Structure 1
Amino acid sequence: MNALDDQALDQVADYFRALAEPLRLKLLNGLRDGPMNVSELTALVGSSQANVSKHLAVLAKAGLVVRRSRGTSAYYEIGDGRTYQLCDLVCGHIADRLLAQVQGMTGGARP
């Protein structure tokens, strides 16, 4: 991060802000298997179409997803597969912390 100026750091912060919403993480996770349209994503995450569209716009602005037109439908796909590497790293860390908390409450490793 030493080589990043204030403007670049603002972009980094915007990127992480876009990831800082559980529904957006669900949407990104839903796109792991390939492009989906808003209706498919709405059914997948159990939210309204307007809400899903709003969150997809935030993800697109941050470059996390890309919108592509196919006929009369718009499909969304992951903008950069490295996003999943970041999410997997963070999720793995959180899972480890939660497991350590459970083991601490039970007095040791779980059988």
Structure 2
Amino acid sequence: MSDELMSLVAERFRALGEPARLRILELLRSGERPVGDIARETELGTANVSKHLGLLHRLGFVARRKDGIYVHYRLADDHVFRLCDLMCGKVEIDARRKVEALLGEAEA
């Protein structure tokens, strides 16, 4: 993998490292929404949501559509959720192992 490609991949991982962006993406999983609805449902400020959506759009995670004065966002594709589902599965496995280890220590 070239250094340039590694930088592009790292930039996308950094974007997904922000919990607010993950909340926005999870919300968009159910369909297109205007910025105001996203802000209201995530309990983040409109300016903050717009900033996050701008980055997610620039990186290709979301697509947007103007409707008069409103901007609606949707997922560009479902690739991001394959990655998120993979990571969530890994986190669940790690958590189960930790619980099992703690229970094993408590029984000893």
Q: Return the TM-score normalized by structure 2.
A: 0.89
Q: Secondary structure at the match of 1:107?
A: helix
Corresponding letter in the other structure for 1:75: H
Structure 2 equivalent of residue 72 of structure 1 = 69
Q: 2: CA distance between counterparts of 1:53 and 1:93?
A: 30
RMSD: 1.4
CA distance in 2, matches of 1:51, 1:64: 17
Give the structure 1 partner of residue 80 of structure 2. Answer: 83
Partner of 2:44: helix, strand, or coil? coil
Count of matched residue positions in the alignment of Structure 1 and Structure 2? 105
Provide the residue aligned with 1:46 in structure 2. Answer: 43
Residue segments in structure 1 that go unaligned for 5+ positions in a row? none
Q: Structure 1: which amino acid aligns with 2:84?
A: C
| Partner residue, 1:102 | 99
Task: Give every structure 1 segment of 4 or more consecutive aligned residues whose post-TM-superposition deviation is greater than 6 Å.
Answer: none
Cα distance, 1:16 vs. partner? 0.8
Separation (CA, whole Å) in 2 of partners of 1:101 and 1:55: 33
The offset of 1:64, in angstroms, is 0.7
